[in-house]
Amino acid sequence: FSLFHITGAAPPSLPNDAAEWRRGKRFGIAGWDLLIEEAEHDRVLQLRAALEPLCDADGAERWRIEQGIPRWGRELTDQIIPVEANLADDAIDYAKGCYIGQETISRMKMSGQTNKRLCGLVPLDGSPLTPGTRLLAPNEARDAGWITSATRSERLGKEIALGYVKRGFNQAGTKLFAEHQPVEVVELPFS
């Protein structure tokens, strides 16, 4: 299968096509998904390209990071709880009962605390950040987390990254080190 996603409030159209769009919230904003068979990918791509400019994979990745959206294999793994990835509002139903992990999720909601949280990171020296780099607390050399995704945002005019920052270090404005590189924790999405 192939998936197309168009951002916007109104459902898009495909000329002379009976395709059905479904609401989807990717990249942190409302939009529309079209799931088609792989064999139709090139035809639909040409139709969409004739209607409006398309975003390539690199552009989509930059937009995802700018919006602070977690991605499976990067920010989301079997070791990450949805609350830690800032997905509580979109992925958790606190009224539903009896599911795996319910007690942990409920405890986190009641205490208002997590061990780590997905945060934005900006290098203070302007140089690129590298996924997988450990974050260290200044003066203490204590492990404070790790970088999961990084990119250069032309729209923002700077290098940015996503990463998990441990409790006690994840407030906006906190200064850390990505190995020896100074970084600052910022709110998501990047503005």
Cα distance between residue 184 and residue 119, in whole Å: 10
Question: Global pTM?
Answer: 0.85
SS (H, E, C) 126-182: CCCCCCCCEEECCCCCCEEEEEEEEEEECCCCEEEEEEEEECCCCCCCCEEEECCEE
Residues 49 and 44: their CA atoms lie apart, in Å, by 8
CA distance 118 to 130: 16
Average pLDDT over residues 67-72: 95
User: H or E stretch including 76?
Assistant: none
The two structure tokens encoding residue 166: 């441990």
CA-CA distance, 188 to 191, in Å (whole number)?
A: 8
Residues 76-102 pLDDT 10s: 999 998 899 999 887 777 777 787 777
pLDDT tens for residues 121-153?
A: 999 999 999 999 999 998 878 999 999 999 999
Calpha distance 117→88 (Å, rounded): 12
| pLDDT at residue 17 in the model | 62
For residue 124, CA distances in Å to 175, 179, 185 come to 9, 13, 10
The tokens of 133 are what? 């780099």
Cα separation, 164 vs 75, whole angstroms: 8
User: Token pair 């639909």 is at which residue?
Assistant: 44
Residue 13: pLDDT band by 50, 70, 90 thresholds? confident
pLDDT of residue 113 exceeding 70, the answer is: yes
- At which residue do the structure tokens 């205490």 appear? 111
Structure tokens at 83: 């609350």
Structure-block tokens of residue 139:
């003066």
